[in-house]
């Protein structure tokens, strides 16, 4: 009997992908786990392994076409079998069993597990908190007509806000190559750019972002890095940047300022404070921004972090990064200084509580030991979620971060 290979659920909110390249053609014999195609999601380019051995009876999508989770990519069968003329219907999502969720990578005794099944929802009853009901009333939305996207179909604030938006009038797709001023190009919003746009809007709508800025005198850090660069290259074959030092300094500052290493559970009204430090490092690629995560950075030394960042950045640029390397972040660093930027207003990588923007190091006049001297100065911009913490906590974190960056021997002393 022929086997219909459907585009699998890859997790992390991936709902569709683009067939970048078929690695087989109809009529080819394939082995089990042999790659059939390269599919680009909004996270990475992934290879689709064949679930069985046999003959490729039919490919249902052309290169460049979009395939949704659950749709059939290909049909594999035995010699003499035939695939259906039309693509098989999309698979229905199986009934989910009570979930078991693990918060973070904590020791076994600290793992939070929830296996209690949800209580059944009475027919016709709308599940929503009093705050959501008030929002619906204030915006004139009939909450009974809103489809909930929260747990067990609960209506969320975002559901109400979306329902309150006026429907856009239908209009034909514009295909003109010029407007009244001249010629134009049109580019579809897809892949990483589409994912980034969605993520940034979600963060903007669901957090109360505030940004503060400061400068660090990193003259000693610059000198330390120059001393260690040849050692890193010779012993580890790694190009040593400033980012490993920044990651380590951030981790040390987070340990005394735990609200910056947290997230807000809006449904339960609880702040989830992480006891592990997974630091996301934004990487600019030709396709857009990706954020690989250095897991348990508190357990790693400078050279280990440098090697891991270099490896993750290379995989991200080549779109060969594993989806697991993009998950689990607790705090993010974005270094626009490599592009010449100084200060910025970085957007939080929701649902994290804060993000640090790093600008380019430049020579500046600086009061040092009672004299004005030319020093190496690194501009920093910290954005945090004001729902979770106040300015005093953010300022305390920034103060400790400056202390570590300005005294890099403290960073090396910590393992």
Average of per-residue pLDDT values in the chain? 86
The lowest-confidence range among 64-78, 147-161, 338-352 is: 147-161
Question: Higher-confidence residue: 7 or 334?
Answer: 334
The lowest-confidence range among 32-36, 45-49, 125-129 is: 125-129
Q: Exposed, middle or buried by CB within 10 Å (0-12, 13-18, 19+), for 271?
A: middle
260-270: average pLDDT: 96
Write the CA distances from 228 to 74, 87, 231, 297, 385, integer angstroms. Answer: 52, 58, 5, 20, 36
64-73: average pLDDT: 90
Q: Quickly tell me which residue has 């004001």 as its tokens.
A: 386
160-182: average pLDDT: 69
Percent over 90 (pLDDT), the chain: 58
pLDDT class for 114, splitting at 50, 70, 90?
very low
pLDDT of residue 172: 53
Find out whether 350 and 330 touch, Cβ atoms under 8 Å.
no
What the chain holds in terms of domains, given with CATH numbers, is: 3-77 (2.40.50.100), 130-164 (4.10.320.10), 193-413 (3.30.559.10)
Question: Higher-confidence residue: 131 or 403?
Answer: 403
Angle, vertex CA 354, rays to CA 337 and CA 308, nearest 5: 60
**DSSP code, position 142:** -
Measure the CA–CA gap between 232 and 225, rounded to whole angstroms. Answer: 10
pLDDT at 13 over 50: yes
pLDDT of residue 305: 97
**DSSP code, position 118:** P
Write the CA distances from 110 to 113, 296, 313, 330, integer angstroms. Answer: 9, 16, 32, 17
From 61, 368, 386, 415, active-site residue: 386
93-108: average pLDDT: 40
Measure the CA–CA gap between 97 and 99, rounded to whole angstroms. Answer: 6
Concerning whether 368 is annotated as a catalytic residue, the answer is: no
């Amino acid at each position: 009997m022929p086997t219909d290979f459907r585009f699998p659920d890859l997790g992390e909110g991936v709902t569709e992908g683009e067939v970048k390249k078929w690695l087989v053609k109809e009529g080819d014999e394939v082995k089990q786990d042999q790659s059939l195609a390269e599919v680009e999601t909004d996270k990475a380019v992934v290879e689709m392994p064949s679930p069985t051995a046999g003959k490729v009876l039919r490919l249902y999508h052309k290169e460049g076409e979009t395939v949704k989770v659950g749709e059939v990519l290909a049909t594999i069968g035995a010699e003499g079998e035939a695939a259906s003329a039309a693509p098989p219907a999309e698979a229905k999502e199986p009934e989910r069993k009570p979930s078991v969720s693990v918060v973070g990578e904590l020791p076994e005794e600290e793992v939070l597990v929830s296996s209690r099944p949800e209580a059944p929802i009475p027919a016709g009853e709308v599940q929503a908190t009093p705050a959501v009901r008030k929002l619906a009333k204030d915006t004139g939305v009939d909450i009974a007509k809103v489809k909930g996207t929260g747990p067990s179909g609960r209506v969320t604030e975002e559901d109400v806000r979306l329902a309150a938006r006026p429907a856009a009038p239908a209009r034909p797709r514009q295909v003109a190559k010029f407007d009244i001023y001249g010629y134009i190009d049109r580019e579809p919003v897809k892949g990483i750019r589409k994912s980034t746009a969605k993520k940034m809007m979600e963060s903007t709508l669901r957090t109360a972002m505030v940004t503060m800025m400061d400068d660090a005198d990193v003259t000693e850090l610059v000198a330390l890095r120059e001393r260690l660069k040849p050692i890193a290259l010779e012993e580890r074959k790694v190009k040593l940047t400033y980012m490993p030092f920044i990651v380590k300094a951030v981790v040390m500052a987070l340990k005394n300022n735990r609200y910056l290493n947290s997230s807000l559970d809006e449904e339960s009204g609880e702040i989830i404070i992480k006891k592990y430090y997974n630091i996301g490092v934004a990487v600019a690629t030709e396709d857009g921004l990706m954020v690989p995560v250095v897991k348990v950075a508190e357990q790693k030394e400078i050279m280990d972090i440098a090697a891991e960042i270099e490896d993750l950045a290379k995989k991200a640029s080549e779109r060969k990064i594993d989806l697991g390397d993009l998950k689990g972040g607790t705090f993010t660093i974005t270094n626009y200084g490599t592009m010449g930027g100084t200060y910025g207003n970085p957007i939080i990588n929701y649902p994290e509580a804060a993000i640090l923007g790093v600008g380019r190091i430049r020579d500046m006049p600086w009061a040092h030991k009672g004299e004005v001297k030319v020093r190496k100065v690194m501009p920093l911009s910290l954005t945090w979620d004001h729902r979770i913490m106040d300015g005093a906590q953010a300022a305390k974190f920034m103060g400790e971060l400056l202390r570590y960056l300005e005294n890099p021997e403290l960073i090396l002393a910590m393992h």
